[in-house]
Structure 1
Amino acid sequence: MEGIRTALVDRPPAGGSVRAAVAALRESLAHSDIGAMGDSERLALIAELERLKGSASACQMRAADALRVSRQESRPQDALRSVGSEVALARRESPSLGDRFVGVSRALVEEMPATLAALTAGEVGERHAVELVRETAALSLADRAEVDRRLAGVLPGLGWRAAGRAARRVAAELDAASVVRRMEAAVRSRRVSVRPAPDGMAYLTVLGPLREVVGAYAALQARARSVVGGQCDDEGAEGRGVGPVAADTALRLMAGLAPGQVQPVEVQLVITDRALLGVGDQGRSTSDPARVPGHGSVPAPVARSWVRGAGPASVWLRRLYTAPGGRDLVAMDSRRRIFSGLLRRMLVLRDDVCSTPWCDAPIVHADHAHPARLGGATSFGNGSGRCARCNQVKEAPGWRVEVVRGSPHELLIRTPSGAVHHSLAPPLLGWGTDPPAPSPLERHHEALLGA
C-alpha cells in the first residue's frame, strides 16, 4: 500500500504531466500484490482507495470547471451544454450526468471551498458533493457559503443521505422562501418515466407532489388488501399477494384496461423466426433471446409466452431482413401500412438507444449523421437514432459526426476539444449475440492479414 501511496510523489511524471502521473498510479494499482497482504492491510488498502476516489473526483471537478471557463471565453454560444456532453464522454456516462457534474464542479470550485477541500482530502465522496449542491441550489451565494461553512466540521462523519438532509435543514433555516419557491417549481417537473429492471421487468416511476403520490399509493394498497382478502366482487386474488395486486391494478388503471383486457400498445418485440416458430435457419437456436428495443433482452420462452398470451387478434408480425450473418438490419417488411415512418422504425430497431456512447437515453430524433443542409441523404446508412439532447449538441460549433461504415453501422464522433469517440450499433438481437461463423472470403482476408 505504501507503494501506491507514494506513486505520485516518488515517480516524477515525464514532462511534468499530471495525466502521466495518474496513469502511472493506475498501472501500479493493476500490479498490486493483494495476495501478499494481511487482512488488516487489505482493509487499510480499501479505505485508502476510497479516499483516493474522492480525491480523484475533486481533481476531475477542477479540470471540468477549468474547461468550462476556457470554453465560455472562446465559444460562449452553447458552451455549457457542449462541455457537459464532452465531460460525459470522458467520464463514460450520459449527457445529463455530464451536465450535472459540470454544474457541481462549478458550485464547489467557486462557491463551496470547504466541501471541495473535504473531497480533495478524500474525507467524503462525490455523492456527498452532489447532494450538498442539489440541496443548496435555490440559495443565494452567501447562504450557500454559510451551509458550506456550517457543515465543514461534520461532513466527514455523515453518509451522503445524511449530508443532504443536513444541507436541506440549514437551507430551510437560512432562506425558507427560496425552499418554498423551489418546491413550487418542482411541481411543474412532475412526470412519468420508465427504465429497464432485471429479469424481464421494468420500473414505471411517477414523480409528483408528495401528498398526491402518497395518497395514490395508500389507495392502491387499500384496494390490493381488499382483493387479497376476498372483499372485491369484480376481481379475485388468484394466488397473488398484496404487492402484485397493487402493481397489476396500477398498470391496468393507467393503461385504461378492463380486467383481463390485452395491452394494445405495440412493443416491437424482436425475435428470430426460429426462436418464435421453430422454422427458418436451422443453424440458429430456438433459444435465441428476444429483444425489446431500448429495454434489453428477454428469454425466448418468455417472449413466446407473451405472444401466446396476447391472442391472435392483437399480434402483428413484421419481417425483418438482415445481412447474411444475421447481425445487422437491412430492410423491413412494409405490408402493414397503418403505421408511417418505416425508415424511422428501422433506425430505432438498429440503434436501440441513443447512438452517442454511454448515453443510453431513448431515441427521440432520427438524425442525419451528415447534415441534410450539407447534402446528407435521408437514408438508412446516413441516419442515426438520437435523444433530443445529443441531436442538439452535435449542432454546436466544433462537433462533427460521420459514418465510418454501414454494416455494422459505425459512427465517428469528434468533440470541440479534438477527442474522438466511436459508436457501433448493436447486433439486431442485442449485445452478447453469438457472432456468426466467418465467410470463406472473410477467412481468406484474415489469413492474408495473419501472413
Structure 2
Amino acid sequence: MFELSTALADPRECLNADLVTAFRRGLSARLESPDALDDASRIDTLRALEELACVVSAAQAHLAHGLDRSVRAAQAAAGVPAARCGAGVAAQVAWARRTSPHRGARDVALARILPSELPATWRAWRTGRITGWKATLVARETACLSREDRGHVDAVVCDDLDRLEAMGERELVAAVQTEACRLDPASVVLRRRRAEADRHVSLRPAPDTMTWLTALLPVTAGVAAYAALTRAADSARADGDPRSKGQVMADALVARVVGATGDLPGSPAVTLGLVMTDHDLFGGTDEPAHLEGFGPVPAELAREVVVGALTRHEQVWVRRLYCHPRTGELVTADTRSRLFRGSMARFIRLRDRSCRTPWCEAPVRHSDHPVESVADGPTSLLNGQGLCEACNYAKQAPGWHARPSPGVSGHEVETTFPTGHRYRSRPPRLVATVGHTPYRVDYVLSG
C-alpha cells in the first residue's frame, strides 16, 4: 500500500490525486466483504486506520500549505497588495474538502504556521501520533506567545511522542497553558482580552423544532446572567409555578430579551417570517413551512404561530410569493406592500436562505452580483445571489469568475476557480408542495 507519510517526509516522492484515488479504491473494495480477523487483529487494524486518518489529514494540510504559498506568490507577482494576497485560498480548500469556508480558513491558517512555528507538533501530526484537532489545540493555546516562546512550548510539550500520544485533549491543553504561563504570564492576560472581544450570540437548529440559543460571554457576565435567571426560577417555583426550573429560566430569558411580557418597555419590535402555501396556511395540506433564520417547521406549528399572533396584540402581514411551477424555487414576489423596503435584497435572502457556496450554510449578508457591476452586470434577480461576507470577498480574488446560468432547472450560478475547477449552486425549493401559491406571513413581537 502507498504510504502517505513517506510522501510527506521525502520530497522525492510525488503525492498526487491518482495515487490517493487508487489507495482509496483499494481500501474501499476491502470493505465489501467480511473481515477474516480475530478480535486482537481488529483492534490493531482500528489503531492503524486511526493513525492513517491522522496522516491523511496532515497530507491535506500539507497540500493546503502548498496551494497557499503558490497563490500568494502569483498574486504578489500580479501586483495584489500584500494585505490581500491569499484571498480565495480558503474557499478553494473548503470546496475540495467539502466543508465551510470558515473551516477552510482555519485549516489554511493551521497549515501555514505548523511547519515553521510548531515543527514538533507538525512532526507528531504527520507521523500519525496526534490528530489534527490536537495540533489545532497546541496552535490555539500558543497564539499569544512570541515566535521564540511558541517554539519553546512546542519543543517541551511534544518532546516525548509516546507521552504526547497518550495525552487527552484537556491534559494537552493544560500542559501547553502551564508552559506558556511560565514563559510569559502577560500572554494569559492578552488571551483573556482577545477572548472577551470574541463574545457573541449564535443560533442553531435543534431536534424536534427547537433551537440552541448560545451566548459566549466573559465569565462575570455569564455567571451573573445565569444567577439572575436562577433567582427568577426559584422565586416562581416558590410561588407555586408548575413549570420546571429549566422551563422558567428559558421563558424568563425570552421575556427579558424580546419584552414579551412588558418587562422591557420600549424594546424594539422583532419581525419573524413564515413561508407556507395557501393550502397549508388554511389547513388543506400539512407540508412543512419555512421559518426564516431557522428552517422547516411543521405546518401545524406554523398555523399555531399565525393564529396565536392574530389573537394577541401583534401585527400580521401576508405577502404573496411566486414559485417556479416545476422546481418550487422562488422566482418573483408581490412587492406592493408598503413595508417591503429593499425588496430585491429581501427577495434574494428569502430565495437563497443561506450562503450559496457549497457547504457554507452561513447567513446571507451580501446580495452579490455574479457578473460584477463593473463588468456591466445588471442589478437583477437573475444576476443576483445571496452570499456570506467571507464568500463574497473570496470571489473577488484574481482569477475567479461567476455567471448566472438560467434554464428549465431554475436559477443557477456557475462559479469558476483560478484552477479551472467549477461548481454550480441552486437555491433550495421554497416549499415542498409545488403548484400551490406560497405566502410569507410576518408577525411582529412588540414589547
Give your verdict on TM over 0.5: yes
* TM-score (norm: length of structure 2): 0.86
Deviations 1:69-114 (A, max 9, x none): 1222221332333211211111112222111111111121111121
1:118 matches 2:124 = yes
> Separation in 1 of the partners of 2:85 and 2:118?
23
1:25 matches 2:23 = yes
**More moved, 388-397 vs 401-410:** 401-410
> How far is 1:189 from its partner?
2.8
> Separation in 1 of the partners of 2:434 and 2:35?
40
How has the CA–CA distance of structure 1 residues 316 and 326 changed in structure 2, closer, same or farther, with 3 Å as cutoff?
Answer: farther
The one of 107, 117, 133 aligned to 1:101: 107
Within 5 A, what are the aligned runs for 1:250-329?
A: 250-258=253-261, 264-279=269-284, 286-311=285-310, 313-325=314-326, 327-329=328-330
Instruction: Give the secondary structure class of the aligned counterpart of 2:276.
Output: coil
How has the CA–CA distance of structure 1 residues 264 and 169 changed in structure 2, closer, same or farther, with 3 Å as cutoff?
Answer: same
> How far is 1:190 from its partner?
2.2
**More moved, 105-114 vs 158-167:** 158-167
How has the CA–CA distance of structure 1 residues 160 and 110 changed in structure 2, closer, same or farther, with 3 Å as cutoff?
Answer: same
How has the CA–CA distance of structure 1 residues 258 and 356 changed in structure 2, closer, same or farther, with 3 Å as cutoff?
Answer: same
Q: Are 1:293 and 1:353, in contact at CA under 8 Å, matched by a contact in 2?
A: no
Within 5 A, what are the aligned runs for 1:191-210?
A: 191-210=200-219
AA in 2 matched with 1:298: V
* TM-score (norm: length of structure 1): 0.85
> Separation in 1 of the partners of 2:433 and 2:116?
50
**More moved, 346-355 vs 185-194:** 185-194
Q: Are 2:54 and 2:132, in contact at CA under 8 Å, matched by a contact in 1?
A: yes
Instruction: Give the secondary structure class of the aligned counterpart of 1:339.
Output: coil
> How far is 1:225 from its partner?
2.0
In structure 1, what is the equivalent of residue 182 of structure 2?
Answer: 173
Within 5 A, what are the aligned runs for 1:144-223?
A: 144-152=150-158, 153=160, 154-223=163-232
Q: How many residues align?
A: 412
How has the CA–CA distance of structure 1 residues 368 and 147 changed in structure 2, closer, same or farther, with 3 Å as cutoff?
Answer: same
> Separation in 2 of the partners of 1:128 and 1:289?
41
> How far is 1:164 from its partner?
2.3
Which ranges in structure 2 are unaligned for 5 or more consecutive residues?
8-12, 436-447
> How far is 1:8 from its partner?
4.6
Kindly report structure 1 stretches of 4+ aligned residues shifted beyond 4 Å: 259-264, 433-436
> Separation in 1 of the partners of 2:15 and 2:193?
48
> Separation in 1 of the partners of 2:73 and 2:325?
52
> How far is 1:434 from its partner?
7.4
How has the CA–CA distance of structure 1 residues 434 and 119 changed in structure 2, closer, same or farther, with 3 Å as cutoff?
Answer: farther
> Separation in 1 of the partners of 2:353 and 2:269?
22
In structure 1, what is the equivalent of residue 69 of structure 2?
Answer: 69
AA in 2 matched with 1:276: L
Q: Are 2:258 and 2:270, in contact at CA under 8 Å, matched by a contact in 1?
A: no
Instruction: Give the secondary structure class of the aligned counterpart of 1:319.
Output: strand
Instruction: Give the secondary structure class of the aligned counterpart of 1:81.
Output: coil
Q: Are 2:414 and 2:423, in contact at CA under 8 Å, matched by a contact in 1?
A: yes
> Separation in 1 of the partners of 2:86 and 2:48?
34
Within 5 A, what are the aligned runs for 1:4-15?
A: 6-8=1-3
Deviations 1:388-446 (A, max 9, x none): 111122111111111122552211111222221221211113xxx4788xxxxxxxxxx
AA in 1 matched with 2:91: S
In structure 1, what is the equivalent of residue 354 of structure 2?
Answer: 353
Q: Are 1:68 and 1:79, in contact at CA under 8 Å, matched by a contact in 2?
A: no
AA in 2 matched with 1:427: R
In structure 1, what is the equivalent of residue 385 of structure 2?
Answer: 384
Please provide the CA RMSD for this pair.
Answer: 2.5
In structure 1, what is the equivalent of residue 94 of structure 2?
Answer: 88
> Separation in 2 of the partners of 1:367 and 1:403?
11
Instruction: Give the secondary structure class of the aligned counterpart of 1:270.
Output: strand
AA in 2 matched with 1:383: G
In structure 2, what is the equivalent of residue 446 of structure 1?
Answer: none
Structure of higher RCO (CA pairs closer than 8 Å, 6+ residues apart): 2
> Separation in 2 of the partners of 1:101 and 1:177?
28
> Separation in 1 of the partners of 2:188 and 2:346?
44
> How far is 1:7 from its partner?
4.7
Which ranges in structure 1 are unaligned for 5 or more consecutive residues?
1-5, 231-235, 280-285, 437-451
1:419 matches 2:425 = no
